[in-house]
Amino acid sequence: MNSIIIDDEATARAILKKLCKSNQEVTLIEEFPNAIQAIKYLNQNAVDLIFLDIHMPDFTGFDFIQTIKNPPKIVLTTSDKNFALEAFEYDCIVDYIVKPITQDRFDKAIQKAKNFSTPTTELSISKNEETSTNNEENDLYVNIDRRLIKIDIPSIYLVEAKGDYITVKTEKKNYVVHSTLKKIEEKLPNELFLKIHRSYIINIKRIIDIEDNSVLIAKDVIPVSRSNRPELMKRLNLL
């Protein structure tokens, strides 16, 4: 089985490399100190098995699993026993090994991976995707001072919620509207817009830069909540 390691600790990666060399069923082809580098690799390459640490800075193992579209078989390697129940809610997880890892325990995990069949999934279109696909309208009308003002939807790069109002920011002008973030989210096409924080919706086509837990759009630096980060990473065309 072609495999990769994702672990932020160099010592842990070295131990796993040694364990892989001692098992003829495993071919280790790459290792990564963080999940982001691994995601970029997996966008271009297929693997059979991933040895994945749970606790990593900024992007946890569970964030990683939620981000990749078709995860291969995964063996979680961790120093924490407390996530075992949560781990097996994911169909792709084969085994959960608590560090330090012995060769016998490692070999048992590999045998499980050999006998493990990932469930098949049917291609489906969600209600939101279907709506956005059929929605060819590019205009949004907002009520400001008893006037209906037309906004070109692709020109919107950011929507910010403040109390009972939202600010719709476009290339040319900003509009303050008495509404909720949830209401405007329902009106915006899913393929262009994404809620990345309880107070912000962004146009993902207008992202300039991403650093740590924030994105730069125009001149605005917008925070990305941990719960929304996996979906954002999934939507990006990473090289």
Instruction: Mark which of 115, 147, 173 sits at the end of a domain.
Output: 115
Residue 105 has a CB neighbour count (10 Å cut-off) of: 13
Instruction: Mark which of 51, 82, 115 sits at the end of a domain.
Output: 115
Range of the domain at 97: 2-115
Separation CA 38–CA 45 (nearest Å): 10
The pLDDT of residue 127 is: 40
Is the preceding peptide bond at 100 cis, omega within 30 degrees of 0?
yes
> Got the DSSP string for 54-99?
S--SSS-HHHHHHHSSS--EEEEEES-STTHHHHTTSTTEEEEEES
Yes or no: say if 3 and 47 are a contact pair by the CB < 8 Å rule.
yes
The pLDDT of residue 111 is: 94
Are 11 and 110 members of one domain?
yes
Q: Which domain CATH number covers 11?
A: 3.40.50.2300
The tokens describing 68, both together, are: 């990749």
Contacts of 64 (CB under 8 A, 6+ apart): 6, 35, 38, 39, 52, 230
Tens-place pLDDT, residues 72-107: 999 999 988 887 777 878 889 999 999 999 999 999
Are 96 and 143 members of one domain?
no
Instruction: Give mean pLDDT, residues 146-155.
Output: 87
Q: Is the pLDDT of residue 133 over 60?
A: no
Contacts of 82 (CB under 8 A, 6+ apart): none
Does this model's pTM top 0.75?
Answer: no
The fraction of the chain above a pLDDT of 70, given in percent, is 91
Are 104 and 134 members of one domain?
no
Separation CA 179–CA 69 (nearest Å): 34
